[in-house]
Chains A and B, each alone.
Chain A
């Protein structure tokens, strides 16, 4: 679990990646649920959420992600779903359960955290050891520097229609019952390093997310892709962005993610379109996917529609009826 915001921009020229949340939409939902600006820093967790207790005061927080929550107050336990805010009181304990679709969940607190930003962002860049809470993951016993909450939302809020589960969680059963997810790509920038046949193998193959995947990149297992015999399997390093799919000499694709390098020397066969990257980024090891090529124009139209859909979704967030309060 780490502190992330929507990313660190403007420092790629020093080799500093953008970092930031892998699933921006969920993070924005969590922030709006507690009355924050959409881009406020929050907690990103993978697979199983944390359990934490409030030593004193009151705390408004929200959870976005496909998981259940259990709160304990004065010895009484109540279960409820995520996609809502909740107000903790002194002595309350909140347990956040296993993510059932993908691996990422988000916890936003009203007004965010108080640590200072590094290069204009609160995002944790683990390999660089900076951002967030001293550049480190949060571990059991970590104290969170929470802002003095001043926001004025009177009621807890909820999202009536959460995003549908499109990808499996981490269990074998869950992985078995989902068909391969379709991830749309734009060919290039170095698709000319591959033959037509290899491009077909790439677009028609089924790939599996490897265990060696992290916030830097998702390594894929599946059809190996060979470079054209008249081209080198290497290029003079040039710029790379999250979503670029590098093919190293061993032929196994690596999809670059938020903490990925800023430049690289392997040809990039294709690049995942912006709106499909979060889905791929949060897929669990063993989950399957296939690629589909679209044009730049199609991708831009999809991006436009996606932004409108997100704005519409955030506008559906409303106060929670009293009857839904656990205590």
Chain B
């Protein structure tokens, strides 16, 4: 893996491990992030404000007047070359309900047509698969998951939507995600999930975490409404959607 350092303005530096999606690369990023966290905790490195791990890179936000950029690069390279293991965590598995009706998935017909599939085939290709949460980002609790079946690979929309509804289940490239909030967005919308993915008042605000495994369960519009009501009045037990066994 060839490492590149990319400047993002005067106070952020991206250490790029690669340019594509790959589980080994994501694990490598997680390892550097973990080691950097230890350096900061023990104050062996000062001037770092925070770090953002992604599929393929680690962005470090820092104060260049406290921590010279050249020093930061040198330390990150040393952490990258360090040969230590990150403790494995027990994998969490989720089965998340999704309504794929056209009212919730306005792009599903266009995806089916572009891929010469029926809508039902798009749904089964999307739902019958185990995804890994590669990272949380873009918006609070937004899970980037992969990998899609190759038959569903689609580019982003050329003009991003100004408003994507909360809960929208979307795809682009080999990735799938759920929008935890109403927001602008450029992905293709296939359906909607009624569970609240992020709640600042919960002790763990984000439902999903990096490394979790996720499958989708197609539900009717009626089930969607019932779950949505339960989520709103606080009677929904989110742990019920977490499976005790791991996916085969």
Residues on A facing B (Cβ under 8 Å): 9-16, 118-119, 125, 127-131, 135, 186-190, 212, 216, 234-241, 243-244, 248-250, 261-266, 268, 271-274, 296, 299-300, 303-304, 307
Chain A interface, >50% SS class: loop
Please state if B52 and A271 are interface contacts (CB–CB under 8 Å). no
* Cβ of B27 under 8 Å from chain A: no
Q: Given A239-B12, A239-B57, do A303 and B64 touch, yes or no (CB 8 Å)?
A: yes
* Cβ of B139 under 8 Å from chain A: yes
Chain A residue, CB-CB nearest to B54: A238
Chain B residue, CB-CB nearest to A243: B9
Q: 5 A-B pairs, CB-CB below 8 angstroms?
A: A13-B137, A15-B141, A127-B181, A241-B9, A244-B8
Residues on B with beta carbons closer than 8 Å to the beta carbon of A12: 50, 52, 61, 137
Please state if A212 and B162 are interface contacts (CB–CB under 8 Å). yes
Q: How far is the CB of B7 from chain A (nearest CB, A)?
A: 5
Chain B residue, CB-CB nearest to A307: B65
Q: Given A236-B21, A248-B160, A249-B159, do A14 and B9 touch, yes or no (CB 8 Å)?
A: no
16 more contacts with CB within 8 A, not counting A237-B137, A239-B52, are: A14-B206, A15-B142, A128-B198, A129-B200, A187-B7, A188-B8, A189-B6, A189-B14, A234-B156, A236-B55, A238-B16, A241-B9, A248-B159, A249-B156, A271-B9, A300-B69
Of the stretches B74-82, B106-114, B182-190, B232-240, the one at the interface is B182-190
Please state if B140 and A128 are interface contacts (CB–CB under 8 Å). yes
* Cβ of B98 under 8 Å from chain A: no
Residue from B21, B52, B69, B186 within 8 A of A263 (CB atoms): B52
CA distance A229 to B56 in the complex (A): 23
Q: Given A127-B181, A250-B158, do A9 and B8 touch, yes or no (CB 8 Å)?
A: no
* Cβ of B221 under 8 Å from chain A: no
Chain B interface, >50% SS class: loop
Q: Given A13-B53, A238-B59, do A262 and B156 touch, yes or no (CB 8 Å)?
A: no
Q: How far is the CB of A294 from chain B (nearest CB, A)?
A: 9
Q: How far is the CB of A174 from chain B (nearest CB, A)?
A: 27
- For the complex of A and B, list the 7 residue pairs with the smallest distance between their C-beta atoms, beginning with the closest: A239-B59, A189-B6, A271-B9, A130-B200, A263-B137, A249-B158, A299-B10
Q: Given A237-B55, A238-B14, A263-B135, do A186 and B140 touch, yes or no (CB 8 Å)?
A: no
CA distance A235 to B16 in the complex (A): 12
CA distance A261 to B135 in the complex (A): 13
Q: How far is the CB of A133 from chain B (nearest CB, A)?
A: 14
Chain A residue, CB-CB nearest to B184: A216
Residues on B with beta carbons closer than 8 Å to the beta carbon of A249: 155-159, 186
Please state if B138 and A186 are interface contacts (CB–CB under 8 Å). no
Q: Given A236-B19, A237-B144, do A296 and B138 touch, yes or no (CB 8 Å)?
A: no
Please state if A186 and B10 are interface contacts (CB–CB under 8 Å). yes
Please state if B9 and A303 are interface contacts (CB–CB under 8 Å). no
* Cβ of B28 under 8 Å from chain A: no
Q: How far is the CB of A21 from chain B (nearest CB, A)?
A: 16
Residues on B with beta carbons closer than 8 Å to the beta carbon of A119: 200, 205
Residue from A15, A239, A296 within 8 A of B139 (CB atoms): A15
Please state if A268 and B162 are interface contacts (CB–CB under 8 Å). no
Q: How far is the CB of B207 from chain A (nearest CB, A)?
A: 11
Please state if A13 and B9 are interface contacts (CB–CB under 8 Å). no
Residues on B with beta carbons closer than 8 Å to the beta carbon of A13: 50-53, 136-137
CA distance A135 to B175 in the complex (A): 30
Please state if B10 and A303 are interface contacts (CB–CB under 8 Å). yes
* Cβ of B3 under 8 Å from chain A: no
* Cβ of B173 under 8 Å from chain A: yes
Residues on A with beta carbons closer than 8 Å to the beta carbon of B57: 238-239
CA distance A241 to B12 in the complex (A): 8
Residues on A with beta carbons closer than 8 Å to the beta carbon of B135: 237, 263
Please state if B10 and A15 are interface contacts (CB–CB under 8 Å). no
Please state if A241 and B64 are interface contacts (CB–CB under 8 Å). no
Chain B residue, CB-CB nearest to A300: B64
Residues on A with beta carbons closer than 8 Å to the beta carbon of B175: 237
CA distance A240 to B59 in the complex (A): 8
Q: Given A14-B206, A212-B162, A303-B64, do A263 and B54 touch, yes or no (CB 8 Å)?
A: yes
Q: How far is the CB of A155 from chain B (nearest CB, A)?
A: 34
CA distance A10 to B49 in the complex (A): 7
Please state if B61 and A186 are interface contacts (CB–CB under 8 Å). no
Q: How far is the CB of B179 from chain A (nearest CB, A)?
A: 11
Residue from B51, B162, B173, B186 within 8 A of A248 (CB atoms): B186
CA distance A14 to B205 in the complex (A): 9
